Amino acid sequence: MAIAPSSAHAHWSSRFGFLMAAIGSSVGLGNFWRFPYTAGENGGAAFVLIYVVCVLLIGFPVLMAELSVGRYGQGSAVGSVEKLTADNGSPQFWTMLGWIGMIGGILVLCFYSVVAGWVTSYIFKMFGGELTGQAPGAVAAAFEAFTADPYAVLFWHSLFSFMTIFVVSRGITGGIEKASSVLMPLFFIMLLGMVVYAMVTGDAGAALSYLFAVDLSEVRPSTFLAAVGQAFFSIGLGSGIMITYGSYLDKNANIGQSAGIIAFADTAVALIAGLAIFPFVFAFTALEPNAGPALFFQALPSAFAAMPGGNIVGAAFFTLALIAALTSSISLLQAVVAWAEENSSLGRNTITWVFGGFIWLVGVGVVFSMSFFDFLDFISGSLALPLAGLLIAVFMGWVVRRDIAKSQLSHASPLLFGFFRFSMRFLAPIALTLILVLGLDDKFGWGLTQMLLGG
């Protein structure tokens, strides 16, 4: 049982610092890697429209719920859920949602740091001109050769892990908040500069049409599921991060407003990232925008290799992706560090290096085994995170008393609070159940996806 949070529980030093940390947590590689190729695989503009609606109807209210639980509990994800469960007089069963989310987040970080290591290496590959002038086939072969060299991947995985552990070891205000307050403004400035450059030098017309010219004939039942999944995972829900970050909020903080800003910023970055990526892809490669994960490490580097000054532009782009990856990884590590601080007499520095070192070690297994990578991705992305999200939606919608929920959303208008309750009771549980069940179906081949979505 978690130790009750003390009055010395840390708090953000400013609202700006909290927003930068929370936005940094939600803005990760999913915005740069997953969103572009998911949009490409699901009809481009039609997917974008449905995605935005899913963020409003599901992502935003679930985010409100997680911040509310954290602010109420004033502890780690596990400790906050335990406190709310006890005060609400609910069965102990519900405490599992904190555990499932935190463990899922740990598993994500174990392989996320490996992918972030790839990103880090590509900053130097691009800047050093290693891929300049190379044909797309050669660029793809270079990526395959790099990922097939476990010792090279291990070096970059270790470097990224060290950066993550170092920032978290410095504390909430001195490490996470300070780093986020510097990195996120820099990130937005660089991203906007990248978009301007991409729109001027690339095929802006094709990119705008692809992302924003809606063609409803492209919409399939599977498009809705992909949009719901992207809306949920992109914001970083279900992993205990936002519960943990919410616990450092002041009692007077406006959760609804903060959640709206975070969800808007995350969505805006995903769309803007598309405008920074697709003009290059359309102008400088013959590859399709629905190239899947290869879009990030093969199609884009191919575009940079073919364009004048592409080594500088490519290095800047992967630096952007590194900042996004780092601000997300520190939040994933902080979630487990917060729990350990509640349940251990060890100092924060020791706890951070012990848990960070353990996650690094599991990541070493990922480096040497792609099947292990796929296993962790399945357990976290298809099982733990959507299950934790489903449980928190049902918990806040059907279990937690209305007066407790209202006390954490006291700034919300009656209309917003009513919408929040409706989403927690109906919209979010239905959507997250679909993500969970069909994700398992994809793994085990039950045939439900074919039956429900027609493929």
| Amino acid (1-letter code) at residue 173 | T
Condensed to tens digits (0 to 9), the pLDDT of residues 261-273 reads 999 999 999 999 9
Residue with tokens 């040497």: 368
> Which of 291-295, 354-358, 385-389 is least confident?
291-295
Say if CB 48 and CB 271 are below 8 A apart: yes
Does residue 394 sit in helix, strand or coil? helix
Residue 1 has pLDDT above 60, yes or no: no
pTM metric for this prediction? 0.94
In this prediction, residue 219 has a pLDDT band, given cuts at 50, 70 and 90, of confident
Percent of the chain exceeding pLDDT 70 equals 96
d(CA 232, CA 374): 20
In sequence order, the 6+-apart residues with CB closer than 8 A to the CB of 438 are 225, 448, 449, 452, 453
Nearest CA to 264 among 225, 234, 241, 239? 234
In sequence order, the 6+-apart residues with CB closer than 8 A to the CB of 176 are 21, 167, 168, 170, 330, 331, 334
Residue 292 has pLDDT above 70, yes or no: no
Average pLDDT, the chain: 92
Query: Which spans in 27-149 are helix H?
Result: 29, 35-41, 45-54, 60-73, 77-88, 96-127, 136-147
CB atoms within 10 A of CB 348: 19
Average pLDDT over residues 243-263: 96
Nearest CA to 25 among 254, 380, 262, 228? 262
